[in-house]
């Protein structure tokens, strides 16, 4: 009969809160897969792209709540991506978290100088990854009672 069920674009919408969108800019397929899996499990919506230029474009279009940024990337490296993102007034306040290799300590300072808000070390720790990222979001999606 008459009434149609509305189609929810994402499960979280039905719970009255839109999922936070995370943009993942990462060229390594395994890292992309793992990070996406861990974030989706926590209820984030994840968009991922595999090179720097696509990352800049996607960020401008999608306006994610947070950007995870690999440093070594094709087309534009992570530093250049961060600088370009910060030139966009719409993205000036968006948290950018660099994902850096442990061995490359100098990467971190450079990433911060380029406009990143923080960094996470590779390899990703599956147990703490989502919590580490939540620290950079203004409204934490879950928990958060310990701070
Ligand atoms: Mn890379």
Structure tokens at 9: 């674009």
Tell me the pLDDT tens digit for each residue of 90-102.
Answer: 999 999 999 988 6
Q: How far is the CA of 143 from the centre of ligand 1 (A)?
A: 31
Q: Which residues contact 47 (CB under 8 A, 6 or more apart)?
A: 21, 22, 23, 24, 58, 62, 64
Q: What is the mean pLDDT of residues 20-48?
A: 97
Q: How far is the CA of 26 from the centre of ligand 1 (A)?
A: 6
The mean pLDDT of the chain is: 87
Q: Which residues hold their Cβ within 5 A of ligand 1, which is an ion?
A: 27, 70, 72
d(CA 2, CA 74): 52
How much is the pTM?
0.83
Query: Which residue has 């928990």 as its token pair?
Result: 143
Q: What is the tens place of the pLDDT at every residue in 46-73? A: 999 999 999 999 999 999 999 999 999 9
Model pLDDT, residue 10: 44
Domains present along the chain, CATH in parentheses: 18-134 (3.40.50.2300)
pLDDT confidence band for 103 (50 / 70 / 90): low
């Amino acid at each position: 009969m008459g009434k149609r069920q509305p189609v929810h674009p994402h499960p979280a919408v039905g719970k009255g809160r839109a999922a936070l969108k995370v943009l993942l800019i990462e060229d390594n397929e395994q890292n992309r897969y793992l990070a996406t899996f861990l974030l989706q499990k926590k209820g984030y919506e994840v968009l991922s792209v595999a090179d720097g230029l696509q990352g800049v474009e996607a960020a401008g279009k999608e306006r994610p709540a947070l950007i995870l940024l690999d440093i070594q990337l094709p087309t534009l490296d992570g530093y250049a991506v961060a600088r370009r993102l910060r030139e966009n007034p719409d993205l000036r306040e968006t948290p950018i978290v660099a994902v850096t290799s442990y061995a490359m300590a100098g990467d971190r300072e450079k990433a911060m100088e380029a406009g990143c808000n923080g960094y996470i070390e590779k390899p990703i720790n599956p147990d703490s990854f989502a919590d580490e990222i939540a620290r950079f979001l203004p409204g934490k999606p879950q928990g958060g009672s310990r701070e």
